[in-house]
Amino acid sequence: MGIAGDDIAMTPVDRAIERLRAIYRGWTRETSVAQMRSDWDEAFADCPVPVTCQRVSAGGVDGEWLVPSDAPRDKAILYFHGGGFRIGSVASHRDLAGRIANASGCRVLSINYRLAPEHRFPAALDDALTAYQYLCDLGLRPADIAFAGDSAGGNLVLAAMLAARDRGLPLAAAGALMSPWTDLAATGASYKSRAEADPIHQRAMILALARNYLGKDGDVGDPLASPLYADLTGLPPLLVQVGDRETVRDDSTELVAKAKAVGVDVELQVWDGMIHVFQMFPEIPQAREAIASLAAFLRNHLHIGHERAPQ
């Protein structure tokens, strides 16, 4: 009875945290990267959302279309999954990307960009740009493409926009970021102030992932690796969502402050009591609210008229 009572008393966020801890508890120093990736994919593989999934080669980058019914053919959201550039895939983020597709009424292209340590920076960024070019080659106008991503994928949303801008390429219509990892040096005050509140992501772990991505001689201050240090001038409208319990909270708040300072149209949503990428857990009511807000933002900037209830 005690266990059942404890379970009943758990909040949806508590249950999400326990799901995450159950995965991490199974990992030791001897656990291979391949096993970690497999475990992560298996833990989040379920996708009950009513979307059609179709694998695709996006200019040589493995990907998947997630298409809700009646989605316009001339619009697309390009999605970059999270996972610290080390784990994560189309499979692990199929449910989240599918819920974004369904709520926005827009098809989503989710890609398996190359991961570290096998493929270090800028391999993931190169793949993101390749996928963007693929959409343009299909005949989509940049104004009809939006970027979205979580955590490391939020980093790629910004890095891809910055790289495209610096190369003189037309930019996507907008970017939606969930708990973006923008500072690989992990300098934000929230790494200390939220250390006890954040159940998973501590600064030592963040720095280890940064080394894994960049290599031991990599530069954490490279603006295409840490977009917080970039000149953000000229970026399209951005929506940034972050949980107040996150150690990486200031990666969002400081980014938004810098974007506003150079005239970027940017909205920050800090969600009380929420953990890193809480949107991945549909059992959390605030996750559904956040995705509804994110979808409205994307519909607005892609000029998609109809509204859908999030799953």
Just list the catalytic residues: 151
DSSP the chain: -HHHHHHHH--HHHHHHHHHHHHHHT--TT--HHHHHHHHHHHT----SSEEEEEEEETTEEEEEEEETT--TT-EEEEE--STTTS--TTTTHHHHHHHHHHHTS-EEEE----TTTS-TTHHHHHHHHHHHHHHHTT--GGGEEEEEETHHHHHHHHHHHHHHHTTPPPPSEEEEES----TT---THHHHTTTT-SS--HHHHHHHHHHHH-TT--TT-TTT-GGGS--TT---EEEEEETT-TTHHHHHHHHHHHHHTT--EEEEEETT--TTGGG-TTSHHHHHHHHHHHHHHHHHHT--------
